[in-house]
Amino acid sequence: MTEFADAPRAERRPSPRTHHGDTVIDDFEWLRDKDDPAVRAYLDEENAFTHSSTEHLAELRQSIFDEIKSRTLETDLSVPVRHGQYWYYSRTVEGQQYGIHCRIPLAHDDDWTPPDVGSGDSREEVLLDDNVEAEGTEFYSLGSFDVSTDGRLLAYSVDTTGDERYTLYIRDLETGSNRADVVPNTFPGATFSPDASVVFYPTVDDAWRPDTIWRHTIGTAASDDLAVFTEPDERFWVGVGLTRSRRYLVLDIASKITSEVRLLDTLDLGGEFQVVWPRREGVEYQVEHAVVAGEDRLLIVNNDGAEDFQVIDVPADRPLDETAWRTLVPASPGRRIEQVDAFADHLTLEYRRDGLTRIAVIRLQSGTEPFGPIEEIPFDEPLFQVGTGGNPEWTQQTVRLGYTSFVTPSTVYDFSVADNTMTLLKRQAVQGDYDPDDYQQERVWATADDGSRIPISLVSRRVDEPRSPRPTLLYGYGSYEASIDPGFSVPRISLLDRGVVFAIAHVRGGGEMGRAWYEQGKMLAKKNTFTDFVTAADELIESGRTTPELMVAQGGSAGGLLMGAVANIAPDRFAGILAQVPFVDALTSILDPDLPLTVIEWDEWGDPLHDADVYAYMKSYSPYENVRDDIRYPPIMAVTSLNDTRVLYVEPAKWAARLRQAGAPVLLLTEMTAGHGGVSGRYERWKEVAQEYAWVLDRMGLGAAAPIKNT
């Protein structure tokens, strides 16, 4: 690696700020102005330095890219999903960056078996070709994609800069041409009314918060659109959708800790959205419409007195009448209920237990007991993730499931409710000599200082010799109750086949172990997230699985905050740290209510602007604030995007500048035409992954390692 004495140095321009009597001098806040030519020049200089510093990895990058490409079935299609009178699917074509969205008509009304769709199928109708839409752009992202129930119209939106502001279009699927309806500056989530006369869509405020739902009558100008709801509280987001029964339009209004749902009966589109339960601070709930024994009911997943949530069944026309409530699924500690879905004859329940996702079926019955027992669908791997998806039809008799594990490629099943049978519809093709039996997955546990047991999920290539220290990539996130579940990855094979163990530390702040697991890693308990990750690393080291010289840490976004904190508190545990779009200037961002999404974040991190205790606590861990001159940092690669609206590029830019000032070997790479998710286009994304993995392997001393071949 190039000597870091030659690395760029950002100019220091002291900028003081004072909160709660504490004055901070920020030398690099000037990097926030991305329209300043000096800022652009600095980012370009850092990019050039990163490229020159990793020039020796060019061959390895190309090898990894070629391996990803060779293992991927480039011309492929998804399993068709029935919606109305059509089967809908997407397909990809070798050499093209983006997907193509298509459909074919049903053979007959009772056609419930997904058809085999071959290349050049004469029945195929192309609804939207993302490759065509993306022509002439450096970035392309599809947001909304909703087909009207009658199949005549498509509402879709696109973002061509990465700033998550989408232009909404209406396509006439009978002619294949777009109508005059064009709505700029929308947010994903456009939804047709059942009769396709109206499309509802969200927009964002200046802080990028979806705050307003609009009603657009098809065939009219966007200037005539009506705002049907605006949420004034800056902590809350809004979204709109349609129940599977198509009986209700649903407004979901939610902060991090409180929610409210409003329904509009689609039999009266000119009416008003009605509140189901008035919002109460700290009470979260979701609503699903069901028809139970001929009566319209609402199934409400909620945490009112139930930490890990419960499901109650209430009358649709009087949801506040507690005398008519029934408990469908009672609260059970350790079973975190996440979702219930209703169909004409059955329900599905999704929940977590023992750190893994689960799905159960509840059959609807007649008589005095309208609900059958909770019947969990079993799976036999020690680690896996499963969820429902592709189930838009009210009367379908099967449940579409998505299943994967560290070693099992993404798999689509149809579960028959009638006879409890599972039909394999598709398993992700892995080209070449991939054999799942060549790999092993397991879960181990680390014990934190307070006695909490932290799960660690691992996958590696099987080896014959006894366990010895092996190169390890340790991934972590730990925020927003988001769970990082064990799933398959084609690019990851390039690491595993070079002898790397991939591990996920399921740290507190995530949702893997229930609501309490999340609560113990947020607000004034946030440091548990960081110490849990270090504890997981120590377990892997002390058990002889790896060594600090062989272990690299990885995390992105809020997981990038984790990376920055770990770099400060345990720099000696890792040979390198990969921080992707990292939230490393957390205190500065959360102090400024004018920045995108800040006020919403106060329920996650606390409000340092108005609370001195929160300010002091956040200042004690915020990575940028705590870079030290007296420790030796491992090599760090920070990757960001200029147009990211969720974690502004300035955070990793400032962090890298401060680290460089402290003598740390840091590389900063800024994608100049991308957003929070990085570059667009599958080939460009593969190049990005290859670049990051090549750096990781180099830090482990495997820069010249060839992949193991099956024999």
Pairing of strands 226-230, 237-242: unpaired
Closest to 561 in 3D by CA, of 483, 487, 625, 469? 625
3-class secondary-structure state, position 240: strand
SS (H, E, C) 120-189: CCCCCEEEEEHHHHCCCCCCCEEEEEEECCCCCEEEEEEECCCCCCEEEEEEECCCCEEEEEEEEEECCC
Distance, in Å, from the CA atom of 597 to the CA atom of 583, rounded to the nearest integer, reads 13
Q: Which residue has the tokens 């109460």?
A: 280
Contact indicator for 471, 500 with CB cutoff of 8 Å: yes
B/e letters for 355-370, b = 16+ CB within 10 Å, e = fewer, are bbbbbbbbebeeeeeb
Residues 6+ apart with CB under 8 A from 519: 525
Quick one: tokens of 254?
């939610």
3-class secondary-structure state, position 22: strand
Distance, in Å, from the CA atom of 131 to the CA atom of 149, rounded to the nearest integer, reads 26
Pairing of strands 153-159, 398-404: unpaired
The per-residue DSSP string of 301-361 comes to: EE-TT-TT-EEEEEETT-TT-GGG-EEEE--BTTEEEEEEEE-SSEEEEEEEETTEEEEEE
Give the other-Cβ count within 10 Å of 125's Cβ: 15
Closest to 375 in 3D by CA, of 386, 387, 359? 359
Closest to 489 in 3D by CA, of 429, 555, 413, 406? 406
Closest to 486 in 3D by CA, of 427, 405, 553, 412? 405
Tally the residues of the chain: 711
**Residues assigned a catalytic role:** 557, 644, 676
Quick one: tokens of 178?
């777009």
Contact indicator for 392, 402 with CB cutoff of 8 Å: no
Phi, psi (degrees; rounded to nearest 5) at 495: -75, -50
Give the other-Cβ count within 10 Å of 653's Cβ: 26
